[in-house]
Amino acid sequence: MKRSFILAFVFAVAATAWVASGQLGESGAEPEAQKPPADLAALDKVPTVRVRSSTAQTHAIVDLLRGRTEANRKVEIKVETDGRLIELAVDDGTLVDAGDVIARLSAGDRPARLAEAKALLAQRKIEYEADQKLSQKGFRAETQVAATEASLQAAEAAVKIAEVELAYTEIRAPFDGIVDERMMEIGDYVDRGDAIARLVELDPMLIVTQVNERDIQRLQLGNTGAARLMTGDQVTGHIRHISTVADEATRTFRVELEVDNPNGRIADGMTAEIALPLAETQAHIVSPAILTLSDGGLIGVKAVNEEGRVVFHAAKIVDTDKQGVWITGLPDDVTLITVGQEYVSPGEKVKTVQESEVEERLKDLAS
């Protein structure tokens, strides 16, 4: 009994000492640093975006098409009478002017028939003059005078026919051009309608393409166009012809671009890439990087209005080139967000920094 009391006393003292040691350790340790309260004002800070002022410009929308060169005129020169070919004044590749002699046929008896027709004409003139004098004196009936006049006119026609037949023995170039191919040789006998040479007019040169039915109404005669040939040469000209009848197979329309070719450097049948202006419109040139999508899936750009709030403008891409993309659907003057547009929403208040300011700072840092 006494021993149990002593053990209980010892345990009580030990427990008291253990509790006291814990309290002393806590009182000697440094208090834990408390976190500062959340800065709710920081959540209300206005985001900053980079902007650029843009003004709509007049821009010609261009349609890029494939086409080919085509000679302005290409004809087979054919004889209009028969005879033996006695002279060929040209070779393949010869340049000729309009009216130059290309070939001659044997005249045969044509000079003699012309002389005969002229002699008969002289006779008919004398007969007609005599009948007129007799008629004035009352010695010749009017019917006889009319018959004599008809004979005179027939003689005059016979002379003209003989002259034309003789002229046909000289075959001349109908226009300035180049002899592409000679089809006959000296000594060949030709009949009326036989081709003796092919003549090609290379200046001006045509560049021909096909335009679809959606764009054909946007082209205008006289508009300037450009073409790049497979040789690397670039040429400019004007739209000379727009077909009003569609090709039955492709439902496209033929369009001709006329370009100067004074030296004949552009050959017939070359492949070309053609740029035709479809229309002029007021558009903004922007970088593709600033384009974004609205919640409804519309493509457009974000801008800042006069109140300093973000607005979304749906845009239509009308053309692209090396400078960027041309878009319509925006006001004529607009402040575009160029950096940070993905982190702000329409209606949100923002601070703006002009691109020009950023560029100036970068220049200062670089120097």
Q: Which domains are assigned to the chain?
A: 48-59+282-366 (2.40.420.20), 64-71+203-279 (2.40.30.170), 107-168 (1.10.287)
Exposure string of 35-73, with b = 16+ CB inside 10 Å and e = fewer, is eeeeeeeeeeeeeebbbbebebeebbbbbebebbbebbe
Convert the pLDDT of each residue in 273-311 to its tens digit: 998 887 788 999 999 999 999 988 899 999 999 999 999
Do the beta carbons of residue 269 and residue 252 sit within 8 Å? no
Q: What is the structure's pLDDT at 333?
A: 94
Q: What is the structure's pLDDT at 303?
A: 95
CA distance 173 to 229: 30
Q: What is the structure's pLDDT at 319?
A: 84
* Contacts (Cβ under 8 Å, ≥6 apart) of 182: 88, 90, 91, 92, 196, 197
Exposure string of 273-285, with b = 16+ CB inside 10 Å and e = fewer, is bbbbbbbebebbb
Q: What is the structure's pLDDT at 12?
A: 54
Within the chain, which residues score under 50 in pLDDT?
1-3, 5-7, 9-10, 22-29, 40, 42-43
Written as one string, the DSSP assignment of 259-310 is E--TT--SPTT-EEEEEEEEEEEEEEEE-GGG-EE-TTS-EEEEEE-TTSBE
Do the beta carbons of residue 290 and residue 337 sit within 8 Å? yes
Written as one string, the DSSP assignment of 162-230 is HHHHHHTTEEE-SSSEEEEEE---TT-EE-TT-EEEEEEEEEEEEEEEEEETTTGGG--TT-EEEEEET
Convert the pLDDT of each residue in 227-278 to its tens digit: 999 888 899 999 999 999 999 999 999 999 999 998 888 999 999 999 888 7
* pTM, two decimal places: 0.59
